[in-house]
Amino acid sequence: MTLEQLKQDVRNVPDFPKPGIQFKDITTIISNADELRYMRDCLSDMYRDKGITKVVGIESRGFILASAIAVELGAGFVPIRKHNKLPAETIEVSYQKEYGTDTIQIHKDALTPDDVVLIHDDILATGGSMLAAVELVKKLGVKNIYVNCLIELEGLNGKRFLAEHGVDCDCLIGIEVDE
């Protein structure tokens, strides 16, 4: 298994969810047990010695690998969900994304300042949802935060946007927007 094979197996869906968007569909690689295991191992290995206590996944595709990474690292899993999807008391952040505005929330008691947190999402595009997730985690007092994504959509400058806001993001695969 190689990163290049994973990259080749990501399906491109033109004009989804609206015309002009080239959606990168990871269902083609998460449905393959060997590829799923390889992704989990690669992403987990990057953080094995960091003392991660919680892995935060961003709704919804971020949940898939975040929970697998959490199990692999012996950490808990915490979801960040869209507005009104979590049952207990929450805090929220609204942000601008490629095709609209969205609001995400986390349970108010999900993390403590002592947690070492890895925030994971499947794809880094412009960086808006990831920056909002970092802001949510910081609102809960967490100081030690790592960030990663499976895929970076190169050309949309998400990593640069995050870096401009003091956030370092590791991505396993880079894919051009047009690929």
Quote the pLDDT of residue 8: 96
On whether the CB atoms of residues 156 and 126 are closer than 8 A, the answer is: yes
Residue 82 backbone zone (phi > 0: left; psi -120 to 50: alpha; other: beta): beta
CATH number of 106's domain: 3.40.50.2020
Quote the pLDDT of residue 18: 85
Mean pLDDT for each 10-residue chunk of the chain (179 residues)? 96 91 94 98 98 97 97 98 97 83 96 98 95 98 98 95 97 90
Quote the pLDDT of residue 153: 96
Q: Which of 98, 135, 154, 179 is catalytic?
A: 98
| Cα(106)–Cα(5) distance, integer angstroms | 34
- Domain assignment of residue 123, yes or no: yes
- Domain assignment of residue 96, yes or no: yes
- Domain assignment of residue 39, yes or no: no
Alpha carbon 134 to its chain's center: 11
Q: Indicate if 61 belongs to the active site.
A: yes
**Structure tokens, 117:** 């947190």
Q: Which of 40, 59, 61, 81 is catalytic?
A: 61
Quote the pLDDT of residue 21: 84
Quote the pLDDT of residue 178: 78
Residue 15 backbone zone (phi > 0: left; psi -120 to 50: alpha; other: beta): left
Count: domains in the chain? 1
- Domain assignment of residue 10, yes or no: no
Q: Which of 61, 78, 53 is nearest to 25 (CA)?
A: 61
- Domain assignment of residue 38, yes or no: no
- Domain assignment of residue 130, yes or no: yes
- Domain assignment of residue 15, yes or no: no
Q: Indicate if 98 belongs to the active site.
A: yes
User: Residue 67: which domain range?
Assistant: 49-176
